[in-house]
Structure 1
Amino acid sequence: MFDIAVGMNDSVVREFHEALNKSPDMAVAVAAIRALTGVISNSSAQTMMGLEKELKDAAAALQRCNPTAISLKAGCELFLRYTTRTSALELEDFSAAKRRLIERGKQFADTSIRARATIAELGARFIRPGCVLLTHGMSRVVLALLQRAVASNINFSVYVTEGRPDGTGQAMARELDKLGVPVTMVLDSGVAYALERVDLVLLGAEGVVENGGVINKLGTYQIALCAKSLNKPFYVAAESYKFARLYPLNQQDLPLEHKPVDVGPLLPRSVAVDNPSRDYTPPAYINLLVTDLGVLTPAAVSDELIQLYV
C-alpha cells in the first residue's frame, strides 16, 4: 500500500510539473488543481475515506515541491474543500460519488482558468483614457487586464519598477512594449519620486489573506505606503484561488523565502545580506481588490473566504 501511495504522489508531482512546463503562463494553483483532478480519475480507492486520504496525501506532496508558495497551498486547500464538502456524496454509491468528484474537480479547474479573463474584464474599467499607472513585478493577471484595456482602444501609459533582484519588472516592461503601451522603468528606490505623475497603482498578489491584506513581491508594502501618503488609489488584481487562510500581523509572520541577490564583489564578507522575496501589505493601504468573485473591498475578503471554505 505504501509503494502505491508513493507512486501516486510521484505521478501527481510529475503531472504538475509537466503542466507548468507545457504552459508557462499557467498559474501554479491551476496546475495543482488539474493534477489533483487526475488523482481522483486514477484512484483505485474503494471508499470515500480512502479517496479523501489519497487526495490529501497528493496535495501534501504538491506543497512539498515549494513549501513557501502561498498560492499553491491555497489552491490545494480550496480544491479539497470544493470537491469533498458536498453532503450529497454520502447518499450515492461510491462509483457515482467518484464521478461527481471528477466533475466538480474539472469544474473548479475550468473556473480557475477563467478567473484571469474575468478579472481582466472587470479591471479594465478602471483604466481611463490618458491615465498613468504604476505596477511592480511581473503579474500575469495584471498583464491580462492591461491587454484587455489595449484591446478596448484605451490609451494609457505605465511606470514599471525595476523589480530587483529577479528582473521581473524588466519582463513586464517587455510584454507591455510588445502591446504598444508607453512604458517607463523606474528604480525600485524611485517609486515615491515617480508616484507624483501616476494616477493609480495596480499590482498582482501571491496571496490574499483573511483580513484583506496581500502578500506579494518585496517592495509592495513600501509602494502602498507611498501611494497612501500621496492619495493615489492602490488596486490589487488577484484570483480567488489565491485567497489563503492566513492572518499575518507583521512581516515576521510570513513564510520565510529568500532569493539570491548579486550585490557586487566589493561587499565585505562580514556584511550580512537580508533579501526576503515578499512582504505583507495590510488592508488599510488597499483601496480595492479586483477578483473573479467581483470587485471587493478588503473588508469583504473575510466573507468570501468563509463562503469558499465552509
Structure 2
Amino acid sequence: MTSVVLSQPSPLRDLASSAPIKQDFDITKAFHRILEDEAISTPLAAVMALTELIQNSDAGTMFELVKALNDGAEALKQHTANPISLNAGCELFIAFVTLFPHDSANFSDLKAELIRQGQNYATEALTYRKKIAELAVGFIKDGSIILTHSYSRVVMQTLLLAHKQKRISVFVTEARPRGLGIKTAEALTAAGVPSTVILDSAVAYVMEKVDFVLVGSEAVVESGGLINAVGSNQMAIIARAANKPFYALAESYKFHRLFPLSQYDLPSHNSSILSFSIPNPEISTVSSSSSSQDQDKSEANRNKLVPTPITQEYISRNNPDVDYTRPDLITLVFSDVGSLTPEGVSQYLVGMFAG
C-alpha cells in the first residue's frame, strides 16, 4: 500500500444503505489488542484494525465496504482522547481502499486482495523506523550533542543506531504532563548513551550547548507542519532563535491531510483545555437560634473562597497533550520516503491522495 497504488480511482461505486459486519467483531477491541505490541504505533494499529474489519465484513458492494470502514474509523475516534495520529492511519487506509486499482473478477476476490495488501503494508511499515534511522544518522556528526523531547520509538531507534557508530550525548526534556522524557532517558542510559533529563522550562538555557533538536511526531500535516508532544513548538521557536537545526522524524503513515492554522485548530483541542477554574465560596449553615456573633462569622465565610487543590493530575487534565509547530520552524522531516523539506511533505501528500 504505497503512493503508487493511491493514484487511480476505483470504478466500483454501488448504492447501498447498510454496511454489515459480523456481530462478534469489535473494532475497538481489535485496535487495543494490536496496540499491546510495543512496536506498533497508533496509525499503524488503525490500518491493521481496519484490515481485520474487512475480513469480518459481509459487505457485498464497494459502497457497503467503504461505509463499514468509515463507521469503524468513527467508532475508533469515539474511544480516543487524542485522535490525530489515529485519523492519519484511518484516512490513509480508506483512501487506499477507495482508490485501489484492480482487475478482480468478483467482489470477494477484491476483498481478499485488499486484505492481503493491508497485511503486507503492515509488515512493510514495521521496517520504516529502520529506514528513517539509517537516513537520519547520516546527518549526525561524531561528537554531537542532541536535544530531544518526550518519547518516540523512531527517535530512540535513530539515537541507538547513532550511538553504535558515533559518539553522541543527549539532553532529554522531562516532557510534562506525561513525563515520557524520563522513559527516553532511562532507555538511553541503559544502552550506554550519555544523557541528562532537563526541565521543560530549561530548553532555552540548554539550547546554546546543543548541535540540533531531534523530535518524533504524532502527525505531519498538509502544510508541512508538525503535531507532536506539547512543548515541541516552543523548542522549535527557541531553536530558530538560536540558529540550531530542528529535525522531525515521521513514518509516512503519519502524514495527515489536516491544515491547522493555530493550536486551537487541532482536533484534540476542547473547551476544558487551559480553562479557568472558578473558586467556590465556603458554605456555612447557622441555625436561627445562633448568636449574632455566629451569624457575623457565617456572613464572613460566605465571602471566603475555597481554592481548588492543584495536583499533577489536575494540571494534566487542564493542559494539552500535543501542539502544532509551523513549517517555517522545521529544518527537515526524515521519513521512509526520504528527507523532505516541509514543502516536500505537502507535495508528497498531494500525490499520495490524488484521485
Report the 3-state secondary structure (helix = DSSP H, G, I; strand = E; otherwise coil) of the residue aligned with 2:177. Answer: coil
Q: Output the amino acid matched with 2:214.
A: L
Superposition deviation, residue 268 in structure 1? 3.4
Residue in structure 1 matched with residue 26 of structure 2 by the alignment:
11
Correspondence 1:142-161 to 2 at 5 A: 142-151=155-164, 153-161=165-173
Distance 1:268 1:173 in 2: 36
Identity of aligned residues (%): 43
Q: Larger Rg: 1 or 2?
A: 2
Q: Which of 269, 275, 278 is the aligned partner of 2:308?
A: 269
Q: What stretches of structure 1 of length at least 5 have no aligned partner?
A: 261-266
Match of 2:128 among 115, 120, 125: 115
The residue number in structure 1 matching 2:202 is 190
Q: Please identify, of 246-255 and 133-142, the stretch whose mean Cα deviation from structure 2 is larger.
A: 246-255
Q: How far 1:238 moved relative to its partner?
A: 0.8
How do 1:1-310 residues align onto structure 2 when only pairs under 5 Å count? 5=21, 7=23, 11-21=26-36, 23-66=37-80, 68-88=82-102, 92-151=105-164, 153-255=165-267, 256=269, 268-269=307-308, 274-310=318-354
Quote the offset at 1:259 in angstroms. 8.4
Deviation at 1:108, TM superposition (A): 2.3
Does the CA contact (< 8 Å) of 2:54 and 2:65 recur in 1?
yes
Cα shift at 1:118 = 1.3
What secondary structure is seen at the aligned counterpart in 1 of 2:87? helix
CA contact (8 A) 1:206 1:242 kept: yes
With normalisation by structure 2, the TM-score equals: 0.79
* Aligned partners of 1:82 and 1:108 also within 8 Å: no
Q: More helix per residue: 1 or 2? A: 1
CA distance 1:285–1:3, change in 2 (3 Å):
closer
Cα-to-partner distance string for 1:216-268 (whole Å, 9 max, x where unaligned): 111111111110011101000011111111111111111216789xxxxxx93
TM-score (norm 1): 0.90
In the other structure, the counterpart of 2:6 is: none
Return the alpha-carbon distance in structure 1 between the equivalents of residues 120 and 18 of structure 2: 30
- Cα distance in 2 for partners of 1:68, 1:106 equals 25
Letter in 2 for 1:57: D
Aligned-residue CA RMSD (Å): 2.4
Q: CA deviation at 1:146?
A: 1.0
Q: Which residue of 2 aligns with 1:263?
A: none
- Alignment partner of 2:26: what SS? helix
Work out the CA distance in 2 between the residues paired with 1:192 and 1:12: 44
**3-state SS in 2 of match to 1:101:** helix
